[in-house]
Structure 1
Amino acid sequence: MPEDLAAALAEVRTLLLDPQLTRAVAAGRRRGQTPSVVRAELRPVAIKAGPRLQIVTSDGARPYTRNVAAGAEAEAAVDALLTEPFGNWHVETSGGTVQVRVTKKGDAQVHRAGRAPARPAPAPATSTPTTAAPVAPPAGSAPALPDAPVAGTSANVLAHDRRKEHLLASGDPLFTAIGASAAKRRQVDAFLRALAATLPEGDLPRPLRVVDLGCGNAYLTFAAYRYLATRGIEAQVVGIDVREDQRERNSTLAMLLGCEDSVEFVAGTIQDAAVDPAPDLVLALHACDTATDDALARAVRWQARWVLAAPCCHHDVAAQLRRTPAPEPYDMLTRHGILRERFADVLTDSLRAALLRLNGYRVDVVEFVDSRHTPRNLLLRARRTGAPASAELRAEYAALTGPWQLTPRLETLLAAA
């Protein structure tokens, strides 16, 4: 239910100035307005001079850090940020989380989780200037460096550099809405870290068009959108799943989370679902067996700029290995069933990476989450360069597939494109 924006921002102000604040992020922009900075992050820190509110703003190219004292200085800095036309505020306190999203009509969609502190913020000091201090330093000035923390400070919320920061807090309303387990949250966080490492700073299409192929319950679809929004990146996200009931469920969830204008769902197969215009970024998390090949092939046909795919099971190549004798002297690799299956896993993803390179992509194969969270923890991370395939790479690929008499599913799909 939409709420009054002024009242919602007053609540945000109270939380930002409350001692129970742990972290807050402002990002995005309102319709027809652009903030002077693309992102702002606030958190309490302990420095030699005493407790401070640290404010880090980014102009899209570099961060600027300043530490302000409690009282009039912090109030003026917070008030200056609240006058900026940010589209989203995410505030975490020791008692709960508040998320504010400004709608196209200028109302506030507010999501609250846990218990927010009830202590009101102090009224603005009469000596506070009416003109707010600038959010970022003047152009050409050097960024301020944060003060050194107090030696021996305990590893608590103030010692923010000593604990791992989740890209989406565990108390985020998203996880409450989708009912994600702790293990699923860890997988989502790990995948978002891979996404953060893939996308460049600045120089992104606006809006960034994202497709999640085989989205299922849409954990990744919503998490990717929320993460991009906190970075101030305007995104249009489409989730594709073959089941109509999933489309209906996920569309309802998008309305509940207040992002139905930016996140939509389509029922259809990975190969044939209608997506227009073509996406810039393609995601595929644990699409089973050759569904990963379907996702990679469609990403190549779209000429997507970035691809992140975490394969699941690998039955296709394993079945081909069972049908044909291994070339000499590699019979021992496939003689035992369990070794053949594991070899098929490695071989399948090696060939997928090679085929992406043959089609103009730079590819990294990495472990995106610890194996104790999921055994399917491999990630193919690709960036389109458009470089033509070398004769050496083509020969290397043929030398591997030929003796094993293999025709990977991805090769067949790309040849038919």
Structure 2
Amino acid sequence: MPEDLATALAALRPLLLDTDTLVRGLAAGRRRGAEPGFARAELRPVDLKAGRRLQVVTTDGRTPVTQNHAPGPDADAAVDALLAEPFGNWHVETTDQVVQLRVTKKGEAQVHTSRTSRRDIEPSVSSASSETGVRPHDRPKERLLDPADPLFGALGAEADKRRQVDAFLRLLAPVVGRAVARAREAGRPLLVVDLGCGNAYLTFAAHRWLAAHPDVAEVGVRTVGVDVREDMVARNTRLAAGLGMAGLSFVTGTIADARVDQDVDVVLALHACDTATDEALARAVRWAAPVVLAAPCCHHDVQRQVTAAQADGILPPHPYTALTRHGILRERFADVLTDAVRADLLRLLGYRVDVVEFVDSRHTPRNALVRAERTGARPDGARRREYLDLVGAWHLEPALATMLADEVARALGDAA
């Protein structure tokens, strides 16, 4: 039931000021017709040499500012100032409860309170100061993006989704430096494009994490989510505005026809079905994107080609007939073969590639991710022969090779 907003905010105040029980407080989003002074604010207790302090980290969406407040008038004033800001969402987690407050369009408060689940508390250890001590409830595994971030609530991302977000960010983290270097050299913000973003929970997460990354903060970041569904784009746009996520936008379009207004530094394509993944990889190659992360979904195209070759009496290469004799094995093998061919093609076209586990197979059988970094290296003869022998043995016409016919022809000619 809606509650009086002033009363609901007043009830949060003692929770935020109790540094013995507070785990963290998060404020984000905006109220209808109002704009807070910050895109996001986070409060948490930290132990410094000078004693317990209430740490407040505010950000404009690009640059975080950290202040440590002593208990008493200093902390009181800091909390009162944040509660007075027209944030649209508050998330307050203590050692025994979680309180979520959302401001409605009518200016009332929708409040949900639940008991704290220790299994779901995964706060990150503060690194704001070398003096910071680790509190007992900060022991669990550090997450790259705070599991209590209001964006998870807004997106309806439960514990499994939060774990997928962390797995994805850990795959992005080692390669983002190459993309940042390109943006810095060009003197512009980093541009991330998510092709076929769908409900965009990873788009939101990637933008949030990148915006707070110290290297990215030097240049700034823009993230564009592309999806063919207008209703999904409208929904994601509303959520981004409500969460105060500056620099994040969504546009309607197909993967093949999506238009952007500057060089693209990071291309994401997560669970795009069948040859839609190939379309995304083709766009990335033609954009010369430094970093590409693609988690394919279904792999029907190669499976159809292998099945057709069998029907025409063209047997698989000896002694691999058993791989395609049974339908379920043929389907699984086609998945592996598809991604192996994609990886070989990207290597031909100047990328260093590794295919890694995206999420644990308990969550989804489609758990492979192709991660590629552009090096511009020319292919040698051995690489050319490996690709040609692979597609020749299995009588394949890879969709990605068809989409990039000119680029592949040049690469094969260079390697001759």
Query: Cα distance 1:364–1:42, how it changes in 2: closer, same or farther (>3 A)?
Result: farther
Query: Does 2:135 correspond to 1:163?
Result: no
In 1: Cα distance, 2:151 partner to 2:132 partner: 32
Structure 1 contact 12–91 (Cα < 8 Å) conserved = no
The alpha-carbon deviation at position 342 of structure 1 amounts to 0.9
The corresponding residue for 2:175 is 198
In structure 2, give the amino acid aligned to 1:197: P
237, 247, 250: which one pairs with 1:251? 237
Per the normalisation by structure 1, the TM-score is: 0.68
- Cα distance change, pair 249–43 in 1 and its aligned pair in 2 (3 A): closer
Structure 1 residue aligned with 2:292: 307
1:33 counterpart residue number: none
SS in 2 for 1:379: strand
Displacement of 1:181 in angstroms is: 4.0
TM superposition shift of 1:49: 10
Change beyond 3 A, Cα 1:210–1:166: closer
Deviations 1:89-146, CA, capped at 9 Å, x for gaps: 99853244799xxxxxxxxxxx998569xxxxxxxxxxxxxxxxxxx99xxxxx9466
Alignment of 1:55-74 (within 5 A): none
Match of 1:389 among 379, 383, 397: 379
Report 1:27-46 matches (<5 A): 43-44=44-45
Gaps of at least 5 residues in structure 2 are 1-10, 28-39, 58-65, 83-88, 103-108, 115-126, 310-314, 408-416
2:153 aligned residue (168, 172, 176): 176
Q: 1:165 to 1:113 in 2, by over 3 A?
A: farther
Residue 280 of structure 1: how far off its partner (Å): 0.6
Q: Kindly tell me: are residues 223 and 66 of structure 1, through their superposed partners in 2, closer, same or farther at Cα, counting changes over 3 Å?
A: closer
Aligned to 1:59: none
Deviation of the 1:286 alpha carbon: 0.3
Q: Does residue 322 of the first structure (1) align with residue 307 of the second (2)? A: yes
* Closer, same or farther: CA 67–274 of 1 in aligned 2, 3 Å: closer
**What is the distance in 2 between the residues matched to 1:191 and 1:296?**
18
Could you tell me which residue of structure 2 aligns to residue 22 of structure 1? 23
SS at match of 1:93: strand
Per the TM alignment, residue 296 of structure 1 is displaced from its structure 2 partner at its CA by: 0.6
State the Cα deviation string for residues 363-394 of structure 1 (Å, max 9, x = none): 12111211111111111111111111122111
Q: Report the counterpart of residue 337 of structure 1 in structure 2.
A: 327
Partner of 2:213: 231
Aligned sequence identity (%): 57
In 1: Cα distance, 2:284 partner to 2:12 partner: 41
Q: Which of 331, 335, 338 in structure 2 is aligned with 1:348?
A: 338
Distance 1:258 1:401, change over 3 A: same
Q: Could you give the per-residue CA deviations for residues 4-48 of structure 1, whole angstroms, max 9, x where no partner exists?
A: xxxxxxx9998775414324799xxxxxxxxxxxx9997546799
Q: Give how far 1:200 is off.
A: 2.5
The whole-number CA distance in structure 2 between the counterparts of 1:213 and 1:304 is: 13
Q: What amino acid is aligned across from residue 291 of structure 2 in structure 1?
A: W
Change (3 A) 1:269 1:68: closer
Decide whether the 8 Å contact of 1:66 with 1:145 is kept in 2.
Answer: no
Separation (CA, whole Å) in 1 of partners of 2:248 and 2:264: 13
**AA partner of residue 229 (structure 1):** A
Whole-angstrom distance in 2 between the partners of 1:301 and 1:223: 26
**Number of residues paired by the alignment?**
347
| 2:56/2:67 contact within 8 Å kept | yes
SS at match of 1:352: helix
Please point out which of 367, 378, 383 is paired with 2:368.
378
CA deviation profile, 1:291-322 (whole Å, cap 9, x unmatched): 11110110010011111111101111111111
SS at the partner of 1:298? helix
Instruction: Output the CA distance in 2 between the equivalents of 1:355 and 1:221.
Output: 26
Q: Counting helix residues as a fraction of each chain, which structure ranks higher?
A: 2
Q: Does the CA-based 8 Å contact 1:216-1:246 persist in structure 2? A: yes
Letter aligned with residue 21 of structure 1: L
2:265 is aligned, of 280, 283, 286, to 280
Contact 1:168 1:227 in 2 (8 A): no
2:177 match: secondary structure: coil
**Aligned-residue offset at 1:164:** 4.3
1:200 is paired with a residue whose SS is: helix
When residues 41 and 263 of structure 1 are mapped into structure 2, their CA distance, relative to the original with a 3 A threshold, is closer
Conserved in 2, the CA contact under 8 Å of 1:289 and 1:316? Answer: yes
Does the CA contact (< 8 Å) of 1:167 and 1:193 recur in 2? no
The runs of 5 or more residues in structure 1 that have no matched partner are 1-10, 27-38, 57-64, 83-88, 100-110, 117-135, 138-142, 150-156
Q: Report the AA paired with residue 226 of structure 1.
A: R
Deviation at 1:263, TM superposition (A): 1.9
